[in-house]
């Protein structure tokens, strides 16, 4: 059974009979446990909407989302979300941002603190747990965002353009960090990206969406062996990488 099933999902913002926007139209896909899936497509094609509906942050107009065969109902601890703009509470330290996110889990305070520290250590921020977001660089804030998503120990990690707000060098470093973590933890991951190279480097499959109404144009498998973390140059030099990249570019240009 697939880990995640998206079945005939549609989303209309506003009144369908009076200028409503069809953001998603009959989108279906399955994601296997441990798989890393990239969602790529032109601006406004519904990538973020799809991710937010999977997370339960947005309602659907039609269709269903199933996890382990069960229909989802709103937000759940089986899914963790990483926002492009980090989504940290500015009046809380890195550690407090994470313990706060763990509060609904109803675990003892000491356990919440332990999990927050462990997650911060995983993303290389052991010495910054008492720093406030304003005291951290963009890359560090996103590490906190990633740590917060990991601390809830989700089965599925959803990332909405997680490196989109970062400079090119930080982006490269963080790509490798997240790749190392997901390859170690074998999490099921769905991420949205505007970067063709990021999609090919990180993903097992790339879902290419076409613009309004948002539909899946094609799904491209990426048959490059793992682990790939810290091997960007090597991976990018392979024939498999180049051929997936070319294929994705060609098909992306067709929907732009
Ligand atoms: N809350 C909302 N109310 C009305 N329309 C919305 C809302 N959120 C998204 N939309 C519309 O739905 C469509 C899909 O938006 P979405 O943000 O999912 O696209 P996207 O592919 O993630 O875009 P981008 O790549 O620019 O981030 C767009 O036309 C957008 O304007």
ipTM given for this complex = 0.98
Nearest CA residue ID for atom 18, ligand 1: 46
- What torsion, rounded to 10 degrees, do the Cα atoms 85, 86, 90, 92 define? 170
Amino acid 22: pLDDT = 93
Taking only the tens place, the pLDDT of each residue in 16-56 is: 788 889 999 999 999 999 999 999 999 999 999 999 999 99
Q: Are 3 and 72 in contact (CB under 8 A)?
A: no
Whether 99 contacts 116, CB under 8 Å: yes
pLDDT score at 154? 96
* Atom 30 of ligand 1: nearest residue by CA position: 44
Evaluate whether residue 97 is within a structural domain.
Answer: yes
With a 6 Å cutoff on the Cβ, whether 210 touches ligand 1 is no
Ligand 1 atom closest to Cα of residue 46: 18
- pLDDT at residue 145, rounded to an integer: 97
Residue 91 within any structural domain of the chain: yes
On whether residue 146 sits in a domain, the answer given is: yes
- Please give the distance, rounded to the nearest whole angstrom, from the Cα atom of residue 184 to the centre of ligand 1: 33
The pLDDT, as a whole number, for residue 226 is 94
Give the separation between CA 244 and CA 199, rounded to whole angstroms: 10
β-bridge mates for residue 64, sequence order? 7
**Residue 229 placed within a domain:** yes
Total domains in the chain come to 1
Helix, strand, coil shares of the chain as percentages rounded to 5? Answer: 40, 25, 35
Most ligand 1 atoms within 8 A of CB, residue of 12, 20, 23 to mutate: 23
160 SS3 class: strand
Q: Is 13 in the pocket of ligand 1 (CB under 6 A)?
A: yes
What separation in Å is there between the alpha carbon of 49 and the centre of ligand 1?
6
From 39, 45, 217, the mutation candidate for ligand 1 (largest count of ligand atoms within 8 A of CB) is 45
* DSSP one-letter code for 11: E
Q: What is the pLDDT of residue 134?
A: 98
Residue spans of the chain under pLDDT 50: none
Q: Give the span between the Cα atoms of 33 and 30, in whole angstroms.
A: 10
Asked if 86 contacts 132 with a C-beta cutoff of 8 angstroms, the reply is no
DSSP 142-158: HHHHHHHHHHT--SEEE
Cβ of residue 208 lying under 6 Å from some atom of ligand 1: no
Cα first-last separation, the chain: 34
Question: Distance between alpha carbon 177 and the CA centroid of its chain, in Å?
Answer: 14
- The answer to whether residue 68 is domain-embedded is no
State how far the Cα of 31 lies from the Cα of 71, in Å rounded to an integer: 15
CA atoms of 133 and 7, how far apart (whole Å): 38
Distance separating alpha carbons of residues 256 and 251, to the nearest angstrom:
9
Ligand 1, atom 31: closest residue by C-alpha: 44
Copy the structure tokens of residue 230: 């810290």
E strand or H helix at 140, and its extent? helix 138-151
Domain region containing 207: 33-44+73-255
In this structure, is residue 147 part of a structural domain?
yes
Q: DSSP character for 79?
A: E
3-state secondary structure 201-218: HHCCEEEEEECCCCEEEE
CB of 11 shorter than 6 A to ligand 1: no
Determine if ligand 1 sits within 6 Å of the CB of residue 156: no
Q: Domain holding 102: CATH number? A: 3.40.50.300
């Amino acid at each position: 059974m697939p880990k995640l099933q998206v079945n005939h999902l549609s989303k209309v913002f506003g009144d369908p009979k009076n200028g409503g926007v069809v953001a998603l139209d009959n989108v279906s896909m399955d994601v296997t446990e441990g798989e890393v899936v990239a969602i790529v497509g032109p601006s406004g094609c519904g990538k973020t909407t799809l991710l937010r509906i999977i997370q339960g942050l947005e309602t659907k107009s039609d269709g269903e989302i199933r996890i382990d065969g069960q229909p989802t109902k709103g937000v759940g601890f089986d899914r963790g979300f990483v926002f492009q703009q980090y989504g940290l509470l500015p009046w809380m330290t890195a550690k407090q941002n994470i313990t706060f996110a763990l509060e609904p889990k109803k675990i003892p305070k000491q356990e919440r603190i332990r999990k927050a520290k462990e997650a911060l250590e995983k993303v290389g921020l052991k010495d910054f747990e008492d720093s406030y977001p304003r005291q951290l660089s963009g890359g560090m804030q996103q590490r906190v965002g990633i740590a917060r998503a990991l601390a809830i120990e989700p089965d599925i990690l959803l990332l909405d353009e997680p490196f989109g707000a970062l400079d090119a060098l930080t982006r490269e470093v963080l790509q490798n960090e997240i790749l190392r973590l997901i390859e170690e933890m074998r999490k099921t991951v769905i991420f949205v990206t505007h970067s063709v190279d990021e999609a090919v480097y990180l993903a097992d499959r790339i879902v290419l969406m076409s613009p309004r109404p948002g539909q899946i144009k094609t799904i491209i498998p990426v048959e490059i062996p793992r682990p790939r973390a810290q091997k960007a140059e090597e991976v990018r030099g392979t024939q498999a990488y180049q051929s997936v990249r070319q294929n994705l570019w060609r098909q992306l240009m067709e929907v732009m």
